[in-house]
Amino acid sequence: MNRNILRLAIPNIVANVTIPLLGLVDLALMGHLDSEVFIGAVSLGTVIFNFIYWGFSFLRMGTSGFTAQAYGEKNKPESYHILLRAMLISSVIGLLILFLQFPIEWLSFQLINGTDEVESLAREYFRIRIWAAPATLGLYVLNGWFLGMQNARLPMITSIAANVFNIVLSFLFVKTFHLNSAGVALGTVLAQYLGVVLGLFLFFRSYRQLIQPWNWTAIIDAKAMKNFFRVNSDIFIRTFCVIFVFTFFTSKSASINNHMLAVNSILIQFLLFFAFFIDGFAYAGEALAGRYKGEQNRGLFLRLTRLLFYWGSLLAFAFALTYLFANQLILGLLTNQQELIETALNFRFWLVLLPLLSFASFIWDGIYIGATASKEMRNSMLGASLLVFLPGYFLMQPILGEHALWLAMMLFMLSRGVFQTFLFPRVMRHNFIKQ
């Protein structure tokens, strides 16, 4: 079992490392320019796209869970139809985003606050990066499908390639052509399309035997579509809660001043960096939990859960120690502006707590996605965001000031894991025939 977990987790960790590295490179490129407004502009622009793309991340999660279950059932035709179904839906959504880009821009900047200079640059960033929407959603589907087929190598190749393209192109546009934040956006657009082309090439090379004549009846099967949208609507609500929390965090930071926005934009990278490591094990959980559900193997499902928490706790302690002893070194890599570093060091206590309080929520997410236990995921996230995060911030802000945002974030991450732990027996009852 450990071998299967690591076989899936390690390639995903390798692939995921390039994602925070991309964010770190973007941040470092902006952090070494002559003004902190560029950091703020990319941060605000990224928040908007988190809203858009995280909102549709159900395309990856749902595809992964359903594909893994079809794999466990040894239903190859359905595995292929799941891919076509998800790609069709992602294409329609991607084109709809492009069609609605102007109202999306207007609404986004009504909700997010920033100074005039930062907002002007963020709008420029938005108007370029929005054109990556169809490719980004297509990559979600391809990588989710590969993972559901118990193949972590192909999404690793696709993700690494897309992110390396992004880093190289962003560096080129910023340093050579001096496009600043607009260069980062343009690099992202081109890299996403290169990534989806590579993903399709890998599919045709590795899974040609699954390809069947086009069958509209099977692809748009009413029962399958209803199940797909039922699960993914729950995942959408769950993901919207995550977006809301991070948007609230960034917006409140921006409402303080540009300096605090820049500081928290830097500090949140510590959470994102850990998330992409722990997500390697969560993704392994998606693939294996879905497979064991498809096989109706309750014993292996429970064993998988125990082992995933073992690996997750080890990783959390390793990151906590790293953040304890190397926080100043990491901050120095993100920016050379000493004022930002000095302010950020006042929050280092929260950085150490981050992995310890959050790892369980990531592990549970992977297990729940594999089991397509979407209702329980949705309910736990609603409780953590509305009943814990918001009250935590508003009650403690008069006492803790700027630190209240970080306390609320810690409570949010911790409560997610707690709620999911209590809901797990229900997941087992609903997904396995009593043995």
Give 23's pLDDT tier (boundaries 50, 70, 90).
low
Q: Residues 357, 392: contact at Cβ < 8 Å?
A: no
Phi, psi of 36 (to 5 degrees): -75, -10
297 CB neighbour count, 10 Å cutoff: 16
Summarised one tens digit per residue, pLDDT across range 224-252 is 888 888 888 898 899 889 888 988 998 88
The pLDDT of residue 434 is above 70: no
Instruction: Indicate the average pLDDT of the chain.
Output: 88
R_g (Cα) of the chain, nearest Å: 21
pLDDT of 44 = 75
Mean pLDDT over residues 366-382, rounded?
93
Q: How confident is the model at residue 113 (pLDDT cuts 50, 70, 90)?
A: low
Q: Does residue 90 carry a pLDDT above 70? A: yes
CA 407, CA 354: separation in Å to the nearest integer? 10
pLDDT tens-digit map of 54-83: 778 888 888 999 999 999 999 999 999 999
Q: Using one digit for the tens of pLDDT, what is the confidence trace for 175-218? A: 787 777 788 888 889 999 999 999 999 999 999 999 888 888 88
Q: Which residues contact 198 (CB under 8 A, 6 or more apart)?
A: 157, 158, 161, 162
More confident residue, 151 or 21: 151
pTM of the model: 0.84
353: pLDDT confidence band, cut at 50, 70 and 90?
very high
Determine which of 22-36, 73-87, 113-127, 383-397 has the lowest per-residue pLDDT on average: 22-36
| Other Cβ atoms closer than 10 A to 178 | 10
Amino acid at 92: V
CB proximity list for 72: less than 8 A, separation 6 or greater: 290, 291, 292, 293, 294, 295
Asked whether residue 412 carries a pLDDT value surpassing 60, the answer given is: yes
pLDDT attached to residue 184: 83
Lowest mean pLDDT among 305-309, 411-415, 429-433: 429-433
